Amino acid sequence: MPKILAASSAIPPHRLDQSFARREMARLCEGQPHLERLIPVFDRTGVDTRHLVHEPEWYLESRSFEERNEEYAAKALELAQKAVRACLVESGTTTDEIDHIFVVTTTGLTTPSLDALLASCLGLRANVRRSPLFGLGCAGGAGALIRACDVLSARPTERALVVSVELGSLIFSKQAQTPTDLVGVALFGDGAAAVLLGGDDVAGDGIRIAHTRTHLFKDSRHLMGWRFTDDGMRLVLSRDIPSLVGTRVAPVVHDFLSDAGLSFTNIKHHILHPGGAKVMATYRSAFGLSDEALSIARECMRQFGNLSSAAVLVMLSNLVASGVPQTGDTGLMLALGPGFAAEMLAIVW
């Protein structure tokens, strides 16, 4: 049972109010009825504000995919470093004590990969084991925790860093002209998070990872992902996702909890990737959850928007910082992403 020793987040400084995003998108969509009719979606996302790596006005200028991706490489490295340094300070860990680093992202491209760039900037050991993870999308933060847990189960004296950084704002292009593109503008924000894990023999208290599972659903690859175009990435996001959560994801999650000796009745803390308003409504109906149980996800969505893979790690960091969890409390982390896939962890304080 590897343990989570510390968790930190890094949110960029530039605030975007949803009212500004709505107004500017309405202006950009003038004369396009198929997009104009969707502007009210900005009022139904549950998002009040988001934080971006640039001032909101920066995004109103036309920029090539090359320019946006170069900004991604620079800003992602900067934000990820901030999250990691805070995590190491919180745990009292030095960089030469890190044995593994898992870096997950889906909103930009860079080679050498971010894990290599981070290892150099942070001064990690030359023999640190690096695992870059791309394409897990919104499930990536939870998925990286599971993969780090697998490694530490076999190496109980070692420590692993899990880092997620997502800059969804840099996907935006004024050439994007589909309803799904507009929905993406209404939902996604920028952020990073870092989590330090230790094996059983590493000193210190932590949140135990008691049980994990990954589930890849058949015949669902069309539901979520990216299309890669000469102008960059284009969001793929099916309106069928809430239905699938209710009919196919829910039984898998119930089975996972049963195998872990748990049920929703004795889960104290629900760290559920927020997705969007319809997905959260489905969580409530399919899992029988109260508004209080969904409060962590809703608050994350309200303050930061959809942070993709970083969302569940930011929620975990904020929950730990709140001081609310007590010894013996149980938690469920659930994130859904392209594939279509679910990543699940049962945790114990």
Q: Is 96 exposed, middle or buried (0-12, 13-18, 19+ CB in 10 A)?
A: exposed
Question: How far from 252 is each of 216, 233, 266, 339, 341, CA to CA, in Å?
Answer: 10, 31, 17, 15, 11
Q: Name the active-site residue from 87, 138, 149, 300.
A: 138
H or E stretch covering 142: helix 140-154
Q: Among this protein's residues, is 149 annotated catalytic?
A: no
d(CA 111, CA 46) in angstroms, rounded, equals 35
Task: Tell me the pairing of strands 49-52 and 14-17.
Answer: antiparallel
Half-sphere exposure in the Cβ direction for 313 (13 Å, CA): 40
Q: Report yes or no: 315 and 334 within 8 Å, Cβ to Cβ.
A: no
Helix (H, G, I), strand (E, B) or coil at 340: coil
Q: What phi and psi values does residue 250 have, to the nearest 5 degrees? A: -55, -50
Q: Find all residues with CB under 8 Å of 286, minimum gap 6, and list them.
A: 245, 246, 249, 250
23: left (phi over 0), alpha (psi -120 to 50) or beta: alpha
Positions marked catalytic: 138
